Structure 1
Amino acid sequence: MALIQTQSLLFRAIEEARPGAIWQALFAEFWPSYRRWYLQAGNTARPYYLPCVRALKKHMPELLPTYERLAELAGGGDLEARFLSLFCPPPYVTACSQVAWPGAQPLLLRNYDYPAQLCEGVILKTAWNGRQVIGVSDCVWGLLDGINDDGLAVSLSFGGRLDVGEGFGVPLVLRYVLETCSRTAAATAALARVPVHMSYNVTVLDRHGDFATVYMAPGKNGDIQRIAAATNHQQKVEWQQHARATSTVERLRLLRLMLDDSAITSEALIAAFLQAPIYSNAFARGLGTLYSAAYWPGEGRADFLWPGHSWSQSFADFTVGARLIEFGSSPTTA
């Protein structure tokens, strides 16, 4: 227990409508760590600049103006631009649980399980392409989960396969969906089309209660399923060791049981996400739940949750600030 209590993560809520000095400062803060990660297998293991830009232009052209602005703010260097494309990045593996609840007030609920030292902890509100977006940042401009002001919410979880192929890191694809889509049908079509470099499950919910989960894998079109819950495998378990370590089968079974319960409430779902086995205390193994997020598409609201503590943000009332979360003990305000 003492080991859990020594781990902490500072979560910050940051707002910048257009890319500028605030994003530039974030990039400067995180770039040394991301540079080491990006070059872990050597410079030649990552694609050159032109293939990166061509891939972005082919698959997500709407992001090009923002990408070019961010690359400029990052210093305009070749390596920075290649990294920001998130085309064929190094592999990474997470846990995570997520569920779309199409009740009277639709809810997308997720837990993010990952090493605390590798999470940015940034809740970022932007309006880069006209739509307002609130989400948890990854790779400085990608998103782990988020919502836009049209009432579309998305979340990712690892898909349980080790294979790596040619495609984008999925956090950038989530950013793309929230920047360009308003409804679940458009979002899932985009997710099925854009290539990814690893297997991921992306669950989508809109303000009308329409939901789906897209099973994404390298070298394949995304498989759109009318499924409300996802953990860390797809149609079947393929990586047995990871499945046992993360209890992916047990977590998914529990989520489905709750969804099948006609008497279940949003409050009960949220409570379950803050308790084992959905909530994980495995921080020593890098699989502890760093945060839970409840996205309310009909209200344009995102609640970030920890046992005994919550932090609400919305498009109507976004509060810049910080929360220091000490895992296994009470959080404090920074």
Structure 2
Amino acid sequence: MTVEFRSIAEDSPGQRWGGQFAKYWPAYSKWWSREGVSGRRTYLESRHAIRKYMPEILDLYDELCELVGGGDIESRFLSFYCPPRYLAGCSQAIWPGDKPLLVRNYDYDKDAFDAILLKTNWNGRGVIGTSDGLFGLVDGMNDQGLAASLTFGGRQAVGVGFGVPLILRYILQTCTTAEEAGQALERIPSHMSYNVTVLDADRNYLTAFLAPDRPTALTHSAVATNHQERVEWSSHARFTATVERERYLLQRLTLHPETQERFIAAFLKPPLYSTAFSAGFGTLYTAAYRPQVGTVDIHWPGRIWSKGFEDFKEDSVRVVFPDQSDIAAS
């Protein structure tokens, strides 16, 4: 299994972004309409929700919709409002040292993954992050020293709200501190349960437990896997080993201080590193965000891809992942 990861920089929405959207749109459209187009929220409902909860990015949303042709389906998709369900694995943690460092594993289906590290300056705010739907982000940081990452929260409830990748985009576009991000996460509705960890340049951090059917809980947890305060979906918890991964990370936080390198290396090995690629939960990458200096290193076993606000080269890397026969033979 091979995945090509690309880095793309475009300060304002333009031909680069629009071209990527056109390339991905057939797959996006199929996923978004799989439960029927009539079952999704209308364009007017979607735009109204952004205006109500994320007014600072309404003009940006309108600009992106116009850039893709102003189509009804495309615009509804870009709103991330009440999208289809999607699940991911993932682990994330704050390094216990004196410098702000957020490390995360992204465990997901490679066929439902943009594989784009996108650098933008939308609305005058620099953001680098891993794209989802080319508007949303699954992790990222801004030029004010705020980093954010998400994991699935391990609950089956679905409600009225936004897909969490757009919520991440919003907080990185509009917030500069963990406290500001927490306030935004408390008031913006999420359509499913997710855990969002944010870290700022002063090493203030929090993890928000988002849910569609109960208030957001803000915690001082430095670790998030795939459940919230307790396991509520036992079969998913067993399949993803969420409790075991959380316990492993918590134990590492209580050890004698270890270097950043050793902490990151732990994410590249079991139990954090997942080889369940055929089941759609393999670890596609490990990201190490250093918001104080504005850099991110994307790690794979034996390989590092480094980017930053001061040095963001547009290039690509091809990563070969083991298939199940390779794993069984080893």
TM-score, normalization by structure 2: 0.96
Residues 96 and 257 in structure 2, CA contact (< 8 A), matched pair in contact too: no
**Whole-angstrom CA distance in 1 between matches of 2:173 and 2:97:** 25
| Corresponding residue number in structure 2 for 1:273 | 267
| Corresponding residue number in structure 2 for 1:173 | 167
| Corresponding residue number in structure 2 for 1:233 | 227
AA partner of residue 40 (structure 1): R
Q: Does 1:204 align with 2:192?
A: no
**Whole-angstrom CA distance in 2 between matches of 1:159 and 1:28:** 31
Residues 128 and 142 in structure 2, CA contact (< 8 A), matched pair in contact too: yes
| Corresponding residue number in structure 2 for 1:3 | none
The correspondence of residues 1-334 of structure 1 with structure 2, limited to 5 A, is: 7-328=1-322
AA partner of residue 54 (structure 1): H
Aligned-pair identity (%): 51
**Whole-angstrom CA distance in 1 between matches of 2:262 and 2:56:** 39
For residue 247 of structure 1, report the CA deviation from its aligned partner: 0.5
Partner-residue secondary structure (3-state), 2:148: strand
AA partner of residue 214 (structure 2): K
Residues 96 and 253 in structure 2, CA contact (< 8 A), matched pair in contact too: no
**Whole-angstrom CA distance in 1 between matches of 2:66 and 2:263:** 43
- C-alpha RMSD of matched pairs (Å): 1.0
For residue 219 of structure 1, report the CA deviation from its aligned partner: 3.2
Deviations for 1:271-313, whole angstroms, at most 9, x for unmatched residues?
Answer: 1000011001111111110000000011100100000000000
For residue 268 of structure 1, report the CA deviation from its aligned partner: 1.4
- How many residue pairs get aligned? The number is 323
AA partner of residue 69 (structure 2): G
- Of 219-228 and 128-137, deviating more is 219-228
**Whole-angstrom CA distance in 2 between matches of 1:94 and 1:47:** 23
Q: Give ranges in structure 2 of 5+ residues lacking alignment.
A: 324-330
Partner-residue secondary structure (3-state), 1:145: strand
| Corresponding residue number in structure 2 for 1:4 | none
Residues 111 and 279 in structure 1, CA contact (< 8 A), matched pair in contact too: yes
Residues 152 and 195 in structure 2, CA contact (< 8 A), matched pair in contact too: yes
Structure 1 segments of 4+ aligned residues over 6 angstroms from their partners: none
| Corresponding residue number in structure 2 for 1:332 | none
Q: Give ranges in structure 1 of 5+ residues lacking alignment.
A: 1-6, 330-334
**Whole-angstrom CA distance in 2 between matches of 1:312 and 1:328:** 23
Partner-residue secondary structure (3-state), 1:129: helix
Residues 199 and 218 in structure 1, CA contact (< 8 A), matched pair in contact too: yes
TM-score, normalization by structure 1: 0.95
Partner-residue secondary structure (3-state), 1:312: strand
Partner-residue secondary structure (3-state), 2:124: coil
**Whole-angstrom CA distance in 2 between matches of 1:103 and 1:300:** 17
For residue 102 of structure 1, report the CA deviation from its aligned partner: 4.8
Residues 102 and 209 in structure 1, CA contact (< 8 A), matched pair in contact too: no
Deviations for 1:188-242, whole angstroms, at most 9, x for unmatched residues?
Answer: 1101110000000000101111111000000333110010000000011111111
